[in-house]
């Protein structure tokens, strides 16, 4: 027989490894070599070996004996007489028990007295561009499972109360103890009769049939803050569906949708407005009326304004949702509209303008030029 590997070598840890390190090392090996996971030849043996090492090293008494006199000292305390020596039928359960136990006790198991919360609800609310910018209070009306008024949400008929569940003795959980290779495993499951609540209703409420909830309409006033935007959600804690039998209510999420403005565009806190000027207006300057959140406003366009010019009206944009008193800007984007259709007089004047500037232009209308060509 070849020299036996030490238990420390098997787990790949130092002699002075802490309990946590040993546990971690075993867990890693078990995940790698567990027969349910690995089809590799020799995996079952590796798992058995690791398990034996873990059994000894995770037990302070056995570890001390092993450290002092080696495997021989363990005698029948040793790992070789494992109850799972033959076959691996039990490993699935063992595996689950081991890993769920390590993951956190809270993860598994309904604890007594903790009723699941009601569902969250979503309400789609459409508002106008102006309402989004200024903010508004809106009344919403929706249907939900709400706390039953007859029983106050307990689900028990008035006058009756809930009684301790006889299946679990009011504990809400069923404990089973099993012997495994890793020692005793306590398996805790929610009681199937009372669903982990520990109590059952002797006489259910006639209105809600013991659920503690009834379907009804609810009206709520929702304050939409100034500056809200498309896709934002407002959370109203505890305004969602009631939980069963007095469980906490879920939340209501109001999803905001904003109808676009016919003339204004929005990007965050900035508002954009397109302004088309004629050639004459851009060249000579003018006064135009601009749509703003506060209504139309007259803006002066200076002579010689170029296409692409941006006129910025500071503080006339959208309020910041979080920084009160602060607003974005309104950007007026100037373009110059070149006429595509000209009256005879307009054409004449433009031709004169071109002549005055010494510019070469196509003269005459299309009809004139057609006549010339036929001429």
Which residues contact Zn ion by CB under 5 A? 148, 150-151, 165, 167-168, 191, 193-194, 205, 207-208
Q: How far is the CB of 105 from Zn ion (least distance, A)?
A: 19
Instruction: Map residue 344 onto helix, strand or coil.
Output: helix
Q: How far is the CB of 243 from Zn ion (least distance, A)?
A: 13
Nearer to Zn ion, 168 or 318 (CB): 168
Q: How far apart are CA 195 and CA 255, in angstroms?
A: 34
Beta partners for residue 319, in sequence order: 327
Closest C-alpha among 193, 201, 190 to residue 108: 190
Q: For the purposes of burial, counting CB atoms within 10 Å of the CB of 71, is it exposed (0-12), middle (13-18) or buried (19 or more)?
A: middle
Q: How far is the CB of 271 from Zn ion (least distance, A)?
A: 51
Nearer to Zn ion, 131 or 241 (CB): 241
Q: How far is the CB of 194 from Zn ion (least distance, A)?
A: 3
Nearer to Zn ion, 128 or 166 (CB): 166
Residue whose pair of structure tokens reads 């299946």 in the numeric block: 167
Q: How far is the CB of 159 from Zn ion (least distance, A)?
A: 12
Instruction: Map residue 148 onto helix, strand or coil.
Output: coil
Antiparallel, parallel or unpaired: β 330-337 and 270-278: parallel
Say what the alpha-carbon torsion angle 253, 259, 261, 266 is, to the nearest 10 degrees: 40
HSE-CB of 330 using CA atoms within 13 angstroms: 20
Nearer to Zn ion, 150 or 286 (CB): 150
Strand (E) or helix (H) holding 255: strand 252-259
Q: How far apart are CA 304 and CA 300, in angstroms?
A: 12
> What one-character DSSP code corresponds to residue 21?
H
Q: How far apart are CA 342 and CA 140, in angstroms?
A: 54
Q: How far is the CB of 123 from Zn ion (least distance, A)?
A: 25
Nearer to Zn ion, 207 or 309 (CB): 207
Q: How far is the CB of 322 from Zn ion (least distance, A)?
A: 42
Nearer to Zn ion, 55 or 162 (CB): 162
Nearer to Zn ion, 242 or 311 (CB): 242
Q: How far apart are CA 212 and CA 198, in angstroms?
A: 17
């Amino acid at each position: 027989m070849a020299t036996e590997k030490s238990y420390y070598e098997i787990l790949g840890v130092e002699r002075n490894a802490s309990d946590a390190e040993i546990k971690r090392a075993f867990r890693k090996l078990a995940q790698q070599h567990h027969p349910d996971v690995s089809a590799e030849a020799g995996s079952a043996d590796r798992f058995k070996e690791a398990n034996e090492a873990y059994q000894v090293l995770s037990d302070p008494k056995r570890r001390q004996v092993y450290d002092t006199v080696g495997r021989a000292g363990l005698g029948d305390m040793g790992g070789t007489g494992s109850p799972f020596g033959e076959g691996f039928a039990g490993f699935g359960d063992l595996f689950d028990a081991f890993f769920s136990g390590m993951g956190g006790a809270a993860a598994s198991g309904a604890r007594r007295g903790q009723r699941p919360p009601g569902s969250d609800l979503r309400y789609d609310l459409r508002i106008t561009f102006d309402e989004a910018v200024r903010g508004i209070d809106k009344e919403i009306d929706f249907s939900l499972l709400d706390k039953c008024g007859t029983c106050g949400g307990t689900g028990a008929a008035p006058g009756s109360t809930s009684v301790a569940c006889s299946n679990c003795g009011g504990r809400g959980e069923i404990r089973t103890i099993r012997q495994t290779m890793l020692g005793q495993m306590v398996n805790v499951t929610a009681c199937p009769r009372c669903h982990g609540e520990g109590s059952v209703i002797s006489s259910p409420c006639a209105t809600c049939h013991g659920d503690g909830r009834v379907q009804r309409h609810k009206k709520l006033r929702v304050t939409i803050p100034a500056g809200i935007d498309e896709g934002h959600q407002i959370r109203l804690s505890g305004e969602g569906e009631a939980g069963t039998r007095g469980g906490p209510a879920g939340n209501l999420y109001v999803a905001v949708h904003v109808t676009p403005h016919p003339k204004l565009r929005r990007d965050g806190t900035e508002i954009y407005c397109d302004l088309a000027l004629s050639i004459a207006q851009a060249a000579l300057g003018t006064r135009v009326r601009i749509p703003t959140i506060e209504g139309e406003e007259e803006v002066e366009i200076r002579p010689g304004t170029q296409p692409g010019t941006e006129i910025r009206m500071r503080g006339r944009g959208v309020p910041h949702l979080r920084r009160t008193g602060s607003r974005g800007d309104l950007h007026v984007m100037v373009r110059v509209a070149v006429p595509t259709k000209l009256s005879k007089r307009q054409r004449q004047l433009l031709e004169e303008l071109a002549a005055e500037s010494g510019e070469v232009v196509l003269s005459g209308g299309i009809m004139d030029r057609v006549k010339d060509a036929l001429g």
